[in-house]
């Protein structure tokens, strides 16, 4: 295994609009780039190959399953591996910081990066969503993706020293708002499944207790002990108020209003409605929750 080198895994499905920008932002710091594609129907595969990436294809189930398939099947030979989405962009300052950090042999097991969102062409700096601290680089043989349908994190098998890097990377999706709402409709289904699983034990899930960031620990505690104990649907309204008013989301202007309303209220409200609808239909038709999820959303648990 080559020491102090970095491989990057990117999951794709019809990412022709983003992939060149993403790969260009990491080419100077990555030894190898692996694309795990879910049989795209656009030019994603051809573009990835033209940019020097190694392309593998696997049928999609959920993010965790797909990413772990990539870890197990891509011929990674470097010490370090990084998780990156196709619509994310590494800034030049962060790329330089990463290159320098992975060359220091001091027992570090992973690196936490700061992620921000660009929405309607504006960086969202307020509302409590920036920066989100995520473990995105780790020793290849020491990590895997948590088995959840939504909000999955990288878990280290062997805990150790974790470094927080200074500069940010950005989730900057270029698709239109209709695409965004369609995507979050899918996310809402996945999170509804996770919530129903907590209640009905539909499938084995790993709710990791060894979070790698203090921010992650606090967010999970608040979500499990506070948010999920509140009345359904009403809690999404309170969460929007918290983000937009008390965490100063209004300072991000009109884009901030749209962002915090859609992502902080509408999305959360939709999750609760889906949970309600699935439970009600299961009771009405005398079926179990798994059957309803399979019939309505074509999700095989």
Closest CA to 128 of 58, 36, 215: 215
Residue with tokens 């439970």: 279
CA–CA dist 63, 110 (Å, integer): 21
Cα distances (angstroms) measured from residue 50 to each of 20, 28, 156, 235: 10, 16, 33, 47
Residue with tokens 């509804």: 192
End position of a domain, from candidates 137, 154, 172 = 172
CA–CA dist 163, 139 (Å, integer): 13
End position of a domain, from candidates 142, 172, 202 = 172
End position of a domain, from candidates 139, 172, 205 = 172
Do 15 and 118 belong together in one domain? Answer: yes
Per the model's pLDDT, the better-predicted residue between 106 and 206 turns out to be 106
pTM of the model: 0.91
Do 287 and 217 belong together in one domain? Answer: yes
- Taking every pair of Cα atoms in the chain, the longest distance, rounded to a whole number of angstroms, is 60
pLDDT at 149: 84
Q: 3-state class of 262 per DSSP?
A: helix
Give residue 86's domain range: 2-172
Measured in degrees and rounded to the nearest 5, phi and psi for residue 196 equal -65, -35
In tens, the pLDDT along 111-168 reads 999 999 999 999 999 999 999 999 999 999 999 999 888 888 999 998 889 999 999 9
Do 43 and 137 belong together in one domain? Answer: yes
Structure tokens at 280: 């009600």
In tens, the pLDDT along 38-93 reads 999 999 999 999 999 999 999 999 999 999 999 999 999 999 999 999 999 999 99
In the chain, what is the straight-line distance between the N-terminal and C-terminal CA atoms, in Å?
Answer: 36
Closest CA to 243 of 259, 230, 226: 259
Do 149 and 190 belong together in one domain? Answer: no
Do 201 and 257 belong together in one domain? Answer: yes
| Number of domains, the chain | 2
Do 110 and 124 belong together in one domain? Answer: yes
| CATH number for position 109 | 3.90.550.10
Cα distances (angstroms) measured from residue 57 to each of 31, 35, 244: 20, 8, 41
Q: Please say whether the beta carbons of 19 and 47 come within 8 A.
A: yes
Do 25 and 12 belong together in one domain? Answer: yes
- In the DSSP assignment, the letter for residue 145 is E
In tens, the pLDDT along 183-197 reads 999 999 999 998 999
Do 36 and 167 belong together in one domain? Answer: yes
Do 186 and 291 belong together in one domain? Answer: yes
Q: 3-state class of 198 per DSSP?
A: helix
What is the helix (H) or strand (E) element at residue 113, kind and residue range? strand 108-119
Do 35 and 149 belong together in one domain? Answer: yes
Closest CA to 142 of 88, 80, 197: 80
What is the helix (H) or strand (E) element at residue 54, kind and residue range? strand 54-57
Angle between helices 234-241 and 267-285 (to 10 degrees): 170
Do 17 and 133 belong together in one domain? Answer: yes
CA–CA dist 103, 287 (Å, integer): 56
Do 117 and 266 belong together in one domain? Answer: no
């Amino acid at each position: 295994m080559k020491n102090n080198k970095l491989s990057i895994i990117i999951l794709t499905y019809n990412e022709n609009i983003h992939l060149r920008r993403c790969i260009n932002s990491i080419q100077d710091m990555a030894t190898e780039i692996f694309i795990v594609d879910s049989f795209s129907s656009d030019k994603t595969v051809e573009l990835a190959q033209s940019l020097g990436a190694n392309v593998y294809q696997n049928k999609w189930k959920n993010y965790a399953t797909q990413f772990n398939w990539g870890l197990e099947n891509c011929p990674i030979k470097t010490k370090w591996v990084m998780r990156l989405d196709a619509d994310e962009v590494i800034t030049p300052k962060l790329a330089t910081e990463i290159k320098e950090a992975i060359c220091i042999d001091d027992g570090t097991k992973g690196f936490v990066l700061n992620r921000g969102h660009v929405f309607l062409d504006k960086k969202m700096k307020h509302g409590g969503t920036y920066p989100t601290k995520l473990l995105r680089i780790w020793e290849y043989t020491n990590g895997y993706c948590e088995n959840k349908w939504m909000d999955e994190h990288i878990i280290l098998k062997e805990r150790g020293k974790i470094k927080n890097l200074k500069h940010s990377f950005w989730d900057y999706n270029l698709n239109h708002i209709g695409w965004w709402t369609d995507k979050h409709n899918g996310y809402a289904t996945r999170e509804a499944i996770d919530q129903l699983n907590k209640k009905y034990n539909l499938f084995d899930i790993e709710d990791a207790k060894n979070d790698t960031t203090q921010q992650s620990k606090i967010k999970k505690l608040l979500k499990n002990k506070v948010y999920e104990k509140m009345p359904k649907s009403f809690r999404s309204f309170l969460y929007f108020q918290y983000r937009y008013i008390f965490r100063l989301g209004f300072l991000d202007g009109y884009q901030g209003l749209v962002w915090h309303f859609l992502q902080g209220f509408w999305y959360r409200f939709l999750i609760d409605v889906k949970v309600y609808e699935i439970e009600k239909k299961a009771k009405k038709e005398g079926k179990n929750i798994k059957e309803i999820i399979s019939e309505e959303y074509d999700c095989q648990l």
